[in-house]
Amino acid sequence: MSAKQKILVVDDERDIVELISYNLTKEGYQVYQAFNGKEGIEMAKQVNPDLIILDVMMPQMDGIEACRLMRAMPEFKSTFMVFLTARSEEYSEIAGFNVGADDYIAKPIKPRALMSRINAILRRNVVESEVPVEDKLEILDLVICRDSFLVYRGDEKITLAKKEFELLYLLASRPNKVFTREQILKAIWEDSVVVTNRTIDVHIRKLREKIGENYVYTVKGVGYKFELD
């Protein structure tokens, strides 16, 4: 595990921050702490972490708003964002994915399971960097730039969250191929990360809102595809 990989933990419960920090440090990560959303953003600007763990409910600024603001900043477009919360309501999970979350972990914290999830998320970054891929896809009227996580349609620049971009890139890289939900989950979230079909649906919906309805199509009962005329 590279000591250069940096993780920022943001939670107003100091015992939770200390528990997570202790376990992350044992795994070889460089750990930083903040105790509300505003502090989290300022610390993130200072240390440029590879991954940020955000509690949803915090004073001054909650995790949802903090994530939304950071996703609007160029330096955090590809930073992994993981939500940590005791709330189990569906709308809370959907709100997290809507602002660009990469994963969603429920309290109470189980250190071994948490470390497995974090290791898997950051390991994807290493694997992706070692596999040569096309830096740019040009398909229909879209230009999809992998290095900048940006999409262009003519002169219009479209900014996507990391998982939205990965989903679009996966589908566009094999136009007209139908990807099952299982294939999408394995390619983007990996087996060690527990997500539901609703996770894919939320990301597809947000993707369509940003790039338009005429690219990604639903194949009922099977999955999704990027369709060429």
- State the angle between helix axes of 63-71 and 37-47 in degrees (0 to 180), rounded to the nearest 10: 40
Give CA–CA dist 199/194, Å, rounded.
10
Return averaged pLDDT per consecutive 10 residues of the chain, 229 residues in all: 79 95 94 97 96 93 94 88 75 74 82 85 58 72 88 91 91 89 82 68 92 92 85
Task: Kindly state the tokens that stand for 18.
Answer: 């200390």
- Can you list the positions of beta strands (E) in 11-79? 30-34, 51-55
**pLDDT of 191:** 55
What one-character DSSP code corresponds to residue 102? S
Contact 58, 10 (CB under 8 A): yes
Find all residues with CB under 8 Å of 214, minimum gap 6, and list them.
none
Give the H/E segment covering residue 2: none
Find all residues with CB under 8 Å of 176, minimum gap 6, and list them.
225, 226, 227, 228
pTM of the entire structure?
A: 0.64
Give CA–CA dist 55/10, Å, rounded.
6
Domains of the chain, with CATH numbers? 6-130 (3.40.50.2300), 136-226 (1.10.10.10)
Altogether, the residues listed in the chain come to a count of 229
Nearest CA-CA partner of 165 in 179, 185, 151, 178: 151
CA triple 223-207-75, angle to 5 deg: 130
Residue in the block written with tokens 């730039």: 145
- Position 36, amino acid: N
**pLDDT of 15:** 95
Contact 144, 137 (CB under 8 A): yes
The partner residues of 52 in beta bridges, in order of sequence, read 8, 81
**pLDDT of 95:** 78
